[in-house]
Structure 1
């Protein structure tokens, strides 16, 4: 019985794991290196970026104050300062916060490179046409992520901080927040929005594999609206205005995703027609 010759380019499962391991190592190294740079930029990272939304001079507060003033409305955004303090209650609290914040900063800034390593792992398994039509993946996905990060930092985070920082059940209870709690609020707002803004990319790949179609997305639009409102309620303070501010861009992204899904389906149908003609 003749032996079947193996393709020399064919990789076994363990070979794929080895390749994946090196992609993960390079991604981790990139995050750590950028994190080390962020660690040395302590003053800028904490005083300017992280603690920026605690100051009433923050651009978001000034914008909402000007809007409220133009309508003759008294607003908490026009206050002189936020009525809370941030403190560290643990011996290693500030040092731990410094390290973890640097790591997360490394991940956010190094996100395009992490995507690049992911793409290098996935792309060999794609057909030439699929690679050709996915050339802008890293650029578009990175832009969407950074747009989400900026939206989370300039909209969601300050709204959450302003609401939760001024909320009191009694005048006798002072708001003195732990440093870790404050940082986690800002981090959750930023990372959550960055991931939410990747919705068009997710829909693109789900459409490519046949799990999503424009018809399905249109059919379940109302359910998607409810899910978006729930997500908005999770990552924003419990007031209607904040939820609407967050929900609007996500709904716009949902509509864009429907258009992207249509484009993918049209390309696939066109490719099938060309195959029939050439066949």
Structure 2
């Protein structure tokens, strides 16, 4: 089966065999990536915990305060390393998984459909990486510095307030924020794809802007930790991406109108003129 344009059909059993092969390749890629990431779990953890270490050093309330994270369960560190390895494996194996999905779906598409969907397939991991990087490099340091500013040394009958972060909770917080920003940064890709297939329009997106603002803040409240800072830090970029999506939808509509105009002009020039 070389493509939908060849009008060839595969039996259901052949599709199931093909799907099984693609799933096996995807699982194998994830397992190999997991083993590699588990071997390097400590360096990966050091990378993820670097913003916390920097923030703790900047907000140290006494010379005796140690730059550390703690654990209160004997299995917590081990399962945290497993979680870190799975997180890294998912990131490393995504190109393999996406390639297998494309190889399974592409033979059923026409050439025009392949050209239309391939840019979205490429843009999806790039936008996820942009969202994760924005969170890790910009939002996370701001958030940690904000929350650590509530520490104080105490004294004169006052209790000291000091952060004792648990290793499992910190990694869980990082992973939740990475996935939240990564998936939410897919908004322009999703809306542009919907505009390309004609399900949404730029005018419709502009008319629904007020509803989009409410939905964005609700989504930010659901996927981020329960604090206003994290929710606003995700909602504001999402609103900017929504405006970018309107512009991209308008560009898609202009391209569609141009193609329709060129097609009409070709039809007009191809008609024979019958003499009176």
Q: Which among 210, 213, 222 is matched to residue 225 of structure 1?
A: 213
Q: Tell me the residue number matched to 2:128.
A: 145
Q: Tell me the residue number matched to 1:56.
A: 54
- What TM-score, normalized by structure 2, do the two folds share? 0.76
**Residues 181-216 of structure 1: per-residue CA shift (max 9 Å, x gap):** 211100000111111111122112222333222122
Q: Tell me the residue number matched to 1:61.
A: none
Q: Is the 8 A contact 2:192 2:252 kept in 1?
A: yes
In the TM superposition, 1:123-272 aligns within 5 A as 123-164=106-147, 171=159, 175-234=163-222, 235=224, 238-239=227-228, 243-272=231-260
- What TM-score, normalized by structure 1, do the two folds share? 0.75
Does the residue aligned with 1:211 lie in a helix, a strand or coil? coil
CA 1:209–1:15 in 2, change beyond 3 Å: closer, same or farther? farther
Deviation at 1:263, TM superposition (A): 2.8
**Residues 24-55 of structure 1: per-residue CA shift (max 9 Å, x gap):** 322222222222222122331112x1211211
Matched, 1:46 2:40: no
In the TM superposition, 1:90-129 aligns within 5 A as 90-129=73-112
Q: Is the 8 A contact 2:52 2:144 kept in 1?
A: yes
Does the residue aligned with 1:86 lie in a helix, a strand or coil? coil
Q: Tell me the residue number matched to 2:59.
A: 79
Unaligned runs of 5+ in 2: 1-5, 152-157, 271-276
Q: Is the 8 A contact 1:19 1:121 kept in 2?
A: yes
Q: Distance in 1 between matches of 2:28 and 2:255?
A: 38
Q: Is the 8 A contact 2:53 2:67 kept in 1?
A: no
CA 1:11–1:229 in 2, change beyond 3 Å: closer, same or farther? same
Task: Provide the alpha-carbon RMSD of the alignment.
Answer: 3.2
Does the residue aligned with 2:69 lie in a helix, a strand or coil? strand
Q: Distance in 2 between matches of 1:191 and 1:210?
A: 28
Unaligned runs of 5+ in 1: 1-6, 59-76
Deviation at 1:145, TM superposition (A): 1.2
